[in-house]
């Protein structure tokens, strides 16, 4: 046992803020235990991160690696995150990320950390860490079941040795799941996953190969979950069996967990004009009346989806706050003509960054219209908000099906073939959850499960156990 020994832990997330932020949250929690963190990313991404709490700032060193731009005709200047480029350009960003290999290798050789916690992307990293005798952990920020649904890393993910060879095969649970579950994709979701993640892309490899190589080469799989959630203990156990790796759940990383008692929580409001302006608007609304609409940093709505969503909000007659991310390099994506004017008395569209955690914590919010990113879901259920769900990306459909099963929200009906939805389906779903007796069930269940999502002591114990595992299971140098 070496529980008194302080560790040096490197952290290397993928270049997406939906990944960088939970990695930073975990870094802060480990630093609170007195361990030293080297947080590795690119200059622009690091410069965009929130300021560290004063009590742990000395323990977290930001390491800036220069991102090579191998595709100057594809990647705009200073593009260092997925939010800086359209979706079809992301594979070129991945190839540039692979160009960090030499700089990262030199840093690891010079600094000799005890552990490196890394993302699904750097498939080339495990041989480097093995040579340097650095312990490795893959921190999966996605919903637990996805590591089981996608199949064993050594076969299905790396070599493609998977009997499922068409999207339809992923609309039912795989044969290796030994318990009843609804965890499978809708057909339109399976088609997107096949197109986006299974084939070799311009980066030179597939996303499945990247993830499989990372999992096969790591010493430990780290999951953002807790065993108190329904069915999670079975998924965690199956993850370990499928990938033949030890698995450690680290809790849900609710944002409240990393707020230090040394910091005045109100200091973030001072001079924060964005939050002050938003809060002034929210303060004027009735308690529990607002539809909060947000789709995270990765989802970009197409023109048809944006139009139907906007007109559905209008048709519902409900007050709303819409955090609408304007995609870069896409000029033509606009709200329906006259929409903001027609809804100005009850709705607000905000196109810049918003402090989502604070908005969800405001008493006026009554329901969250969400893409079901696992991080956003955790924030919403921390406050006990019922959900209306419109999933898009890789694990979001699985999150939505789980949340429907435990009755904390409903998924907006969509065409199974192409994923299209109508304004009427948006309107009816919102009104059902916010205004009907049936909707009260979802709100009551969400409020009940918030006791798990918001339990700081529970999630702190997970962090304590995780850090103890890192101390006791690192490789001998």
Q: Give residue 195's pLDDT band: very low, low, confident or very high (50, 70, 90).
A: confident
Angle at 90 between CA 242 and CA 209, to 5 degrees: 25
* 145-171 tens-digit pLDDT: 999 999 998 888 888 888 898 999 999
What are φ and ψ of residue 120, in 5° steps? -75, -10
Q: Which of 467, 473, 32 lies closest to 250, judged by CA?
A: 467
User: CB 328: neighbour CB atoms within 10 A?
Assistant: 14
Q: Give residue 258's pLDDT band: very low, low, confident or very high (50, 70, 90).
A: low
Q: What average pLDDT score do residues 231-253 get?
A: 96
pTM of the full predicted structure? 0.93
* 424-451 tens-digit pLDDT: 999 999 999 999 999 999 999 999 999 9
Whether residue 262 has pLDDT greater than 60:
no
Whether residue 345 has pLDDT greater than 50:
yes
Domains and CATH numbers, the chain: 8-254+455-471 (3.40.50.2000), 270-453 (3.40.50.2000)
Q: What average pLDDT score do residues 98-108 get?
A: 97
- Read off the DSSP letter of residue 51: P
Whether residue 206 has pLDDT greater than 90:
yes
> Which SS3 state, helix, strand or coil, does residue 116 take?
strand
Q: Give residue 474's pLDDT band: very low, low, confident or very high (50, 70, 90).
A: confident
The answer to whether the CB of 360 falls within 8 A of the CB of 368 is yes
Q: What average pLDDT score do residues 33-52 get?
A: 96
pLDDT at position 157, please?
85
Whether residue 269 has pLDDT greater than 50:
no
Q: Which of 429, 421, 393, 389 lies closest to 406, judged by CA?
A: 389
Q: Give residue 296's pLDDT band: very low, low, confident or very high (50, 70, 90).
A: confident
Both tokens assigned to 52: 């560290």
What percent of the chain stands above pLDDT 90? 79
Q: Which of 57-66, 79-88, 285-294, 454-463 has the lowest mean pLDDT?
A: 79-88
Q: Which of 72-76, 206-210, 241-245 has the lowest mean pLDDT?
A: 72-76
Q: What average pLDDT score do residues 24-38 get?
A: 97
Q: What average pLDDT score do residues 32-56 get?
A: 95
Angle at 84 between CA 31 and CA 365, to 5 degrees: 70
pLDDT at position 259, please?
56
Q: What average pLDDT score do residues 251-264 get?
A: 66
Whether residue 201 has pLDDT greater than 50:
yes
Both tokens assigned to 207: 């996303």
Whether residue 268 has pLDDT greater than 70:
no
CA 265, 271, 273, 274 torsion-angle sign = negative
pLDDT at position 271, please?
43
Distance, CA of 56 to CA of 12 (rounded, Å): 19
Helix axes 374-382, 17-31, angle to 10 degrees: 60
Strand boundaries in 168-265, DSSP class E = 220-223, 247-249
* 80-90 tens-digit pLDDT: 999 888 888 99
User: CB 234: neighbour CB atoms within 10 A?
Assistant: 17
Better-scored residue on pLDDT, 178 or 77: 178
């Amino acid at each position: 046992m070496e529980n008194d020994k302080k560790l040096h832990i490197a952290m290397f997330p993928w270049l997406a803020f939906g990944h960088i932020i939970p990695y930073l949250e975990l870094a802060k929690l480990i630093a609170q235990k007195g361990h030293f963190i080297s947080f590795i990313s690119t200059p622009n991404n690091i410069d965009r991160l929130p300021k560290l709490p004063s009590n742990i700032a000395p323990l977290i060193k930001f390491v800036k690696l220069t991102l090579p731009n191998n595709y100057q005709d594809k990647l705009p200047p200073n593009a260092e995150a997925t939010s800086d480029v359209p979706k079809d350009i992301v594979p070129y960003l991945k190839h540039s990320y692979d160009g960090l290999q030499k700089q990262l290798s030199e840093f690891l050789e010079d600094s000799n950390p005890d552990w490196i916690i890394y993302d699904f992307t750097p498939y080339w990293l495990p041989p480097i860490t093995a040579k340097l005798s650095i312990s490795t952990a893959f921190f999966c920020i996605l919903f637990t079941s996805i590591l089981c649904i996608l199949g064993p890393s050594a076969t299905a993910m790396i070599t493609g040795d998977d009997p499922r060879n068409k999207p339809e095969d992923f609309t039912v649970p795989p044969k290796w799941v030994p318990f009843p579950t609804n965890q499978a994709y809708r057909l339109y979701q399976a088609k997107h996953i096949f197109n986006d993640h299974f084939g070799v892309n311009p980066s030179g490899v597939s996303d499945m190969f990247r993830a499989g190589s990372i999992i096969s080469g790591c010493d430990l799989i780290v999951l953002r979950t807790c065993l108190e959630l329904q069915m999670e203990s079975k998924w965690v156990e199956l993850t370990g069996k499928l990938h033949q790796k030890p698995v450690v759940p680290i809790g849900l990383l609710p944002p409240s967990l990393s707020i230090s008692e040394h910091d005045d929580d109100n200091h973030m409001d001072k001079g924060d004009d964005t939050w002050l302006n938003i809060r002034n608007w929210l303060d004027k609304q009735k308690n529990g009346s607002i539809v909060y609409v947000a789709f995270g940093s990765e989802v970009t709505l197409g023109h048809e989806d944006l139009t139907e969503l906007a007109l559905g909000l209008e048709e519902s007659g409900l007050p709303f706050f819409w955090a609408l991310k304007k995609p870069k390099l896409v000029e033509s994506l606009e709200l329906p003509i006259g929409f903001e004017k027609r809804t100005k008395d009850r709705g607000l569209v905000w196109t810049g960054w918003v402090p989502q955690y604070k908005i969800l914590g405001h008493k006026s919010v009554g329901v969250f219209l969400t893409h079901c990113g696992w991080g956003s879901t955790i924030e919403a259920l921390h406050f006990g908000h019922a959900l209306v769900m419109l999933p898009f990306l890789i694990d979001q459909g699985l999150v939505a099906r789980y949340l429907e099963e435990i009755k904390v929200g409903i998924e907006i009906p969509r065409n199974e073939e192409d994923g299209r939805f109508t304004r009427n389906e948006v309107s009816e779903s919102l009104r059902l959850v916010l205004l009907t007796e049936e909707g009260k069930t979802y709100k009551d269940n969400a409020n009940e499960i918030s006791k798990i999502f918001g339990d700081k002591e529970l999630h702190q114990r997970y962090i304590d156990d995780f850090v103890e595992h890192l101390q006791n299971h690192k490789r001998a140098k």
